[in-house]
Amino acid sequence: RETKLQIVLTCSSTWLNLHLIVLMVLCVFLQGMAFSLEERLQLGIHGLLPPCFINQDVQLLRVTLENIIKMDLPLRKESKQYVFLMGLQDRNEKLFYRVLLSDVERFMPIIYTPTVGLACQQYGLIFRKPRGLFITIHDRGHIASVLQNWPEKDIRAVCVTDGERILGLGDLGCYGMGIPVGKLALYTACGGMPPQQCLPVMLDVGTDNETLLKDPLYIGLRHKRVRGQAYDDLLDEFMKAVSDRYGMDCLIQFEDFANVNAFRLLTKYRNQYCTFNDDIQGTAAVAVAGLLAALRITKSKMCDHTIVFQGAGEAAMGIAELITMAMEKEGLAKDECLKKIWMVDSKGLIVKGRDHLTHEKERFAHDHPHMKKLEDVIQELKPTAIIGVAAVAGAFSEQIIRDMASFNERPIIFALSNPTSKAECTAEQCYTLTEGRGIFASGSPFDPVTLPDGRMFYPGQGNNAYIFPGVGLGITACAIQHVTEEIFLTAAEALAHLVTEKDLAEGRLYPPLSSIRDVSLKLAVKIMEYAYEHNLATLRPEPSDKQAHIHSLCYSTDYDEFVVDSYRWPEDSMVVQSCKL
């Protein structure tokens, strides 16, 4: 009932709409996923609930399993923190964001990597109340009407996943909804985008995860993933429906799609819609920002480096692409840039003529004998930087780190896989084995490391949250309609520029997370400037003071003043009576 009241108070729609929303919220609370398809359609709540129809017996199982039987299992602490914060987001949104901002370093890892990964794995168990919009493969032909069920009309940013590759955890199907929900919470917390302008979407096409198909608590469609033409049609229709309803400048962020679809969809839609893929482009910008900061330590240029990737998936390709652009900007010819980048996938070093080479991998295949083991590759190529993005825990062995330290005065070692359990090496291993010479960044957070000699290092967390909220804010603030690769290079350069000499001296390659709101605003201003210079912005007239313009769009966690005047309760109403009491 409290939530119902909160919605009544914060909603500025007409009374009719209000009435409907109250009805809808009530319904969702009353029966949850027990509503049949027909009831969902009649009540206009189709899409607001996860696709699975769950009867009261299963609801009973969820409640008893979670609240009573599994109460004291060891993994419970993190997911309890997650459940608590999500509950707060439902009850008092402004306070939720105030809490996040009060200590970003502490709270971000709960609604984002690593805890969100754990939460997604147990999404069925910890499920309380749906968040975001669920669109299934069976909604084909009707996506526009599913979007109509979403109560907000002015959406500026959509984050969408199909749950096939959640972090490094694999196919979590509909349980992956935690990811877009968490990402968009960061758009608001870090980038200041108003939460009502953000829409998390799960495109449920099924799951190939047997565990989930057998899980009685699973909230998604209980069949194998639908692929091929039907899948593509769903995506086409979705992109069009979103742009029709919210405008061509509504940003659509792709998140945690499997490789096969991620590249394909990015290539297909990037020139048609306002879209980007955070796993490819966002990750790339953060990693390249880290490299640019590392160059300030090594006092070298990007094209002085030879870089080996452990992994050749979305993140690797995105990073490599952006590194190439940065090298080209330094004046090196494209072909030469590509030659400085090597990749190792699950079959070993990627070389010309090898089997299993996709179109993307082909670009980084060089003339070289094939080698299977990463250790051998490192010894042979003697790179200056290694970047791990394959979610193979411990892939940077002691041997590899020692070798890197023997070839290089300041070896660059980035263990970017998420969550923490998938990191290629720990911060401690890197600093210890390189006697503090290693320049380290990770994807998930690591605690500071003190070496036996007393020197202290603060590992840089190459957190995508440094980039996507600021990029999203910049894009939406001036209505950019196509997100170019240069926007990400601009963001990376701006981010690296914000790292102070003092940060660098302590091993930090990124500004402190506590300054992330400020970082995002600065990135957004840079992106706006770039966009107007290069004719990408469609907002006219061009705001003369871009910073002020961005500030004016930002969400504030202060409570709005409640304008009693417009309500005028009748003198004899209960409210007025009780106020008098």
Number of residues located near ligand NAG, criterion CB under 6 A:
9
CA count, 13 A, side-chain hemisphere, 511: 22
> From the DSSP assignment, how many helices (H) and strands (E) are in the chain?
27, 14
> Cβ of residue 392: shortest distance to ligand NAG, in angstroms?
15
Site string for ligand NAG, 76-115 (x = CB under 6 A): ----------------------------------------
DSSP category for residue 217: T
Cα dist. 551→99, 191, 477, 518, 522 in Å? 20, 10, 10, 11, 11
> Cβ of residue 120: shortest distance to ligand NAG, in angstroms?
7
Is residue 96 within 8 Å of residue 85, measured between CB atoms? yes
The structure tokens 């003529």 sit at 353
> Cβ of residue 171: shortest distance to ligand NAG, in angstroms?
4
Report the Cα 390 to chain-centroid distance in Å: 17
Residue 474 token pair: 């910049």
Residue with smallest beta-carbon separation from ligand NAG? 170
Please state, in angstroms and rounded to a whole number, the distance separating the CA atoms of residues 504 and 85: 33
Is residue 466 within 8 Å of residue 289, measured between CB atoms? yes
Please indicate whether residue 97 is annotated as part of the active site. no
Catalytic residue among 82, 97, 183, 546: 183
> Cβ of residue 212: shortest distance to ligand NAG, in angstroms?
5
131 is in an annotated binding site: no
Catalytic residue among 82, 112, 466, 555: 112
Name the residue nearer to ligand NAG (CB basis): 209 or 275: 209
Of the candidates 340, 262, 268, 259, which has an alpha carbon nearest to the alpha carbon of residue 305? 340
Name the residue nearer to ligand NAG (CB basis): 121 or 136: 121
Site string for ligand NAG, 179-218 (x = CB under 6 A): ------------------------------x-xx------
Please indicate whether residue 112 is annotated as part of the active site. yes
533 phi-psi bin (left φ>0, alpha ψ -120 to 50, beta other): alpha
256 is in an annotated binding site: yes
Name the residue nearer to ligand NAG (CB basis): 175 or 187: 175
Site string for ligand NAG, 161-180 (x = CB under 6 A): --------xxxx--x-----
Of the candidates 165, 210, 62, 184, which has an alpha carbon nearest to the alpha carbon of residue 123? 62
Name the residue nearer to ligand NAG (CB basis): 209 or 277: 209
Please state, in angstroms and rounded to a whole number, the distance separating the CA atoms of residues 278 and 380: 33
> Cβ of residue 107: shortest distance to ligand NAG, in angstroms?
24
Name the residue nearer to ligand NAG (CB basis): 175 or 276: 175
For residue 512, cis peptide bond before it (omega within 30 degrees of 0): no
Report the Cα 286 to chain-centroid distance in Å: 12
Of the candidates 458, 460, 448, 377, which has an alpha carbon nearest to the alpha carbon of residue 416? 460
Name the residue nearer to ligand NAG (CB basis): 114 or 470: 114
Of the candidates 310, 309, 262, 382, which has an alpha carbon nearest to the alpha carbon of residue 323? 309
Query: In degrees rounded to 5, what are phi and psi of residue 290?
Result: -60, -40
17 is in an annotated binding site: no
Site string for ligand NAG, 117-136 (x = CB under 6 A): ----x---------------
Query: In degrees rounded to 5, what are phi and psi of residue 69?
Result: -80, -45
> Cβ of residue 172: shortest distance to ligand NAG, in angstroms?
5
279 is in an annotated binding site: yes
> Cβ of residue 397: shortest distance to ligand NAG, in angstroms?
24
Residue spans of alpha helices (H) in 498-545:
501-505, 516-533
Is residue 493 within 8 Å of residue 486, measured between CB atoms? no
Name the residue nearer to ligand NAG (CB basis): 76 or 517: 76
Please state, in angstroms and rounded to a whole number, the distance separating the CA atoms of residues 187 and 204: 23
Rule CB under 6 A: which residues touch ligand NAG?
121, 169-172, 175, 209, 211-212
Residues marked as binding for a divalent metal cation? Answer: 255-256, 279
List the catalytic residues.
Answer: 112, 183
Indicate the annotated binding residues for (S)-malate: 165, 418, 463
Q: Enumerate the known binding-site residues.
A: 165, 255-256, 279, 418, 463
